[in-house]
Amino acid sequence: MVLSCFYCGQEWTLLSGQFSEDMIPTVGFNMRKITKGNVTIKVWDIGGQPRFRSMWERYCRGVNAIVYMVDAADPEKIEASRNELHNLLDKPQLAGIPVLVLGNKRDLPHAYDENGLIDRMNLSAIQDREICCYSISCKEKDNIDITLQWLIAHSKSGVR
């Protein structure tokens, strides 16, 4: 499950393998499969516009992991993203599902690194599940492999 409140490139990161300056944000949802070695992962990319956020919980039930992407170079968006993430993870149906927080746009000046994201997103307050945070750049394809490795490690049964 790939989620984001704002336009920060989550579709590219895990689904298309290509970066485009004129990407169109996800409206509604997309589903794609990623195969790495002998593991195939089904990835749902849910739109982040306010009208779709109410659907996040429904699509997150029963998934192996939640990938939550934020724009690491925009402090205002990080604050709103933090609130949405914590609201989502407060849902009892999602208890225990591991979360990978990705701070995209690390190639931009003043983008937060992992420690800055952990602090700004208040990730240390999340105690009921495994949580991991990486700083990535979709544009530079930086840390994308480690993201896929984390997903593979948290994929209990391949395609779900």
Query: The domain spanning residue 50 has which CATH number?
Result: 3.40.50.300
The reply to whether 105 sits in an annotated binding site is yes
The pLDDT assigned to 53 comes to 57
Contact 57, 97 (CB under 8 A): no
CA distance 60 to 106: 27
The CB-side HSE value for 95 (13 A sphere, CA atoms) comes to: 3
Q: Is residue 159 part of a domain?
A: no
Q: Is residue 86 part of a domain?
A: yes
Beta strand pairing call for 39-46 and 66-71: unpaired
Q: Is residue 158 part of a domain?
A: no
Adjacent-strand bridge partners of 41: 34
Q: Is residue 70 part of a domain?
A: yes
The pLDDT assigned to 80 comes to 87
Label residues 68-106 b or e (16+ Cβ within 10 Å = b): bbbbbbbeebbeebbebbeebbeeeebeebbbbbbbbbb
Question: Would the pTM of this model clear 0.85, i.e. be above it?
Answer: no
The reply to whether 106 sits in an annotated binding site is yes
Q: Is residue 160 part of a domain?
A: no
The pLDDT assigned to 49 comes to 56
Q: Is residue 148 part of a domain?
A: yes
Q: Is residue 112 part of a domain?
A: yes
Q: Is residue 99 part of a domain?
A: yes
CA distance 114 to 132: 9
The reply to whether 58 sits in an annotated binding site is no
The pLDDT assigned to 104 comes to 92
Range of the domain at 78: 2-153
The reply to whether 48 sits in an annotated binding site is yes
The reply to whether 22 sits in an annotated binding site is no
Number of structural domains the chain divides into: 1
Q: Give the residues of the chain that fall short of pLDDT 70.
A: 1-31, 44-59, 156-160
The reply to whether 17 sits in an annotated binding site is no
